[in-house]
Structure 1
Amino acid sequence: MKRSVLLLTLALTPTAVAQTLTLKHDEGTTTVKKNPQRVVVMDEEALGWMFALGVGERVVGLASSYLSPTDVSGGKLKPAVLKEGFYTRGKLNNPSFVGSWTAPNLETILALKPDLIVRLTWDGNQNYDKLSKIAPTVGYEEGSQGFWQKGLRDLARVFGKQVQAEQIIKEAADVNRSNARKLQAAGVFRKYDKVVVLAPFSGGNTWAYSRVRLIDDLLALGFKNGLKIGNATLGIGAQINDEALLGIDKKTLVVLFPPGGQYNGADAFLKTPVGQRLKDQSVVYTPEAFSPYSGPLTSIRNSNEVTRLILDKLK
């Protein structure tokens, strides 16, 4: 009996309790072991947070909607794929491919024995309960205000990287402020005071983004939002018709932000009557291969590259 009481007392000591922390996230409240060594990320957004904190080598499993069967061999990402685009932004130690964010391979994830699972989420996203049975799982809603800053700061607490998190959040904001001054000095806002972000998909559908996906960085640069969107799917944007596109005025900069790979419909869009009408006020911004839509590393690239494209267009 005394031994049992002693063990219980030890288990409740501050030292033992301090090995975990509790995170309130968009899918609930989760107790997480500090400084986890084996992490599964369910999308490139979460991978970007790991890279920003310098702990990418702890990613043992990666889910992605970008990857195809030709990118994977023996359940692992091929070495050549890890040398492309966004995957070069941090250190990855040959992670296993664990499906997509909507269709995770639960058996593969279970076999990896992760300490933590991190993912984006939205209304109707599934599998949180199943993932939580495998390991502590935290999810962040893409359309919510400041979601990537929240996710990054939570992971920083888990890994003891709070100072690094604040530094890179500040760096992203500083880059936007610096580029805003460049655009102001070049007279960009006299020509274009508003901006819209359009994602032309192969097959003819075009989406306009109202939150998160590039548009937030453009608003931080000093532009006003040039297109009002009603009900936004997933809180980030909506499909838009030609009539609405033809209503875009000449003082609105159009940034074409096509999806990656086989879904890129930018060239086809510019050949349409609507694309021809908007061509003179458009720039095409192509993200890195395998790039997330948001996060500090993405925000910095977005700001620098789009600023360069705009300044080049006005020369």
Structure 2
Amino acid sequence: MKFQPLFLTLALGAFAATQGHVLAQQAATLTLKHDEGTATVKKNPQRVVAMDEEALGWLAALGVQSRVVGIGSTYFEPQDVQGGKIKANVLKEGFYGRVGLNSPAYIGSWTAPNLEVLTALRPDLIVRLTWDGNQNYDKLSRVAPTVGYKEGGAGFWQKGLRDLAKVFGKQVEAEKVIQQVADVNRANARKLLAAGVFKKYDKVVVVAPFAGGNNWVYSNVRLIPDLRALGFKDGLNTKATTLNVGAQISDEALLGLDRKTLVVLFPPGGKYDGADAFLKTPVGQKLRAQSVVYRPEAFAPYSGPLVSIRNSNEVTRLLLDKVK
């Protein structure tokens, strides 16, 4: 019996040490509930993979783009990559040039990432845009904690930004960025109102003309939220959408738009851009007087805080020029 106090002391010490280790681990991690599940993420990660430009935009808005060691994208051609890395001259173009990166590896496309390359990067966080039916989440999660946010969800980029801000301890910065977007939209809305833009165009439609002749309208994301924030009403209601993003539109529907509906041609980037070809069609010719062409930056994401600010400023500039 005389040994029991010593045994109890040792047992309690071991328990306390174990509990301390568990608490320390918990303090160093954060559990996020995102659109693809739940992930336990190490706080303040140093090696991050952005599976797409949207994710890169959130990370850049928080000022942690230097930690991005790998990028997934569908923009790159074979000549843009050398030795598994994106060429330095490419990283100086468009959105990439505005963000600034430290020679990240190219891990393939959003839908078909190179898991061998990804694993070799030893990331401690993977971030991606996602949608219904998107694959590889389980495979990515086996490499590193992975978080995904659905593009068609309400306020999706704000949620992604705020979640990542918790991970990096950048909550104040995230709120400042979100507020900056709102402030820019308010300032530009006043300019448009003063110039009489809304008297001429009170509604708007965002048309994505693809090379080859297919035209889509964006109904929930991809520029349309920024135009709504500027004060425009929807010029067309699309009942059925794909992935809650938009829908293919017929020539007949476009010809039915009234003259007070502004048509913003927002083509996809690079070889998919069909804006010039659209304007040469009979429909494009009829709508030309009420249309503006707004091209995104090279390698730009479709949405996010950095893109929203550019959208607001550049579309405002185009419209002020149009109504002079």
TM-score by shorter chain over 0.5 = yes
After superposition, what is the alpha-carbon deviation per residue over 1:177-224, rounded to whole angstroms, capped at 9, x for unaligned? Answer: 000000011111111000000000000000000011000000000000
SS at 1:113's partner residue? coil
Matching residue's letter, 1:187: G
For the 8 Å contact 1:54–1:90, the answer to whether it is kept is no
- Structure 1 residue 88 displacement after superposition: 1.7
- Between the aligned partners of 1:193 and 1:160, the Cα distance in structure 2 is 41
For the 8 Å contact 2:91–2:100, the answer to whether it is kept is no
SS at 1:12's partner residue? helix
1:199 to 208, 211, 220: 208
For the 8 Å contact 2:181–2:309, the answer to whether it is kept is yes
- Between the aligned partners of 2:94 and 2:308, the Cα distance in structure 1 is 15
Extract unaligned runs of 5+ from structure 1: none
After superposition, what is the alpha-carbon deviation per residue over 1:221-246, rounded to whole angstroms, capped at 9, x for unaligned? Answer: 00001011121111110111101110
Greater Rg by CA: 2
- Between the aligned partners of 1:117 and 1:268, the Cα distance in structure 2 is 38
1:183 to 192, 202, 219: 192
SS at 2:262's partner residue? strand
- Between the aligned partners of 2:198 and 2:15, the Cα distance in structure 1 is 71
SS at 2:33's partner residue? strand
2:242 to 229, 233, 246: 233
Extract unaligned runs of 5+ from structure 2: 1-9
Describe how 1:226-305 pairs up with structure 2 within 5 A: 226-305=235-314
- Between the aligned partners of 1:63 and 1:81, the Cα distance in structure 2 is 14
Residue in structure 1 matched with residue 21 of structure 2 by the alignment: 11
Describe how 1:205-220 pairs up with structure 2 within 5 A: 205-220=214-229
Matching residue's letter, 2:106: F
User: Equivalent pairs: percent with the same residue?
Assistant: 72
SS at 1:198's partner residue? strand
- Number of residues paired by the alignment? 314
SS at 2:154's partner residue? coil
After superposition, what is the alpha-carbon deviation per residue over 1:257-300, rounded to whole angstroms, capped at 9, x for unaligned? Answer: 01000000000000000000000000000110000011110000
For the 8 Å contact 2:188–2:313, the answer to whether it is kept is yes
SS at 2:217's partner residue? strand
Q: Which runs of 4+ in 1 moved over 4 A?
A: 1-4
Residue in structure 1 matched with residue 102 of structure 2 by the alignment: 93
> Structure 2-normalised TM-score?
0.95
For the 8 Å contact 1:38–1:115, the answer to whether it is kept is yes
Matching residue's letter, 1:10: G
For the 8 Å contact 2:209–2:265, the answer to whether it is kept is yes
Residue in structure 1 matched with residue 86 of structure 2 by the alignment: 77
Matching residue's letter, 1:113: R
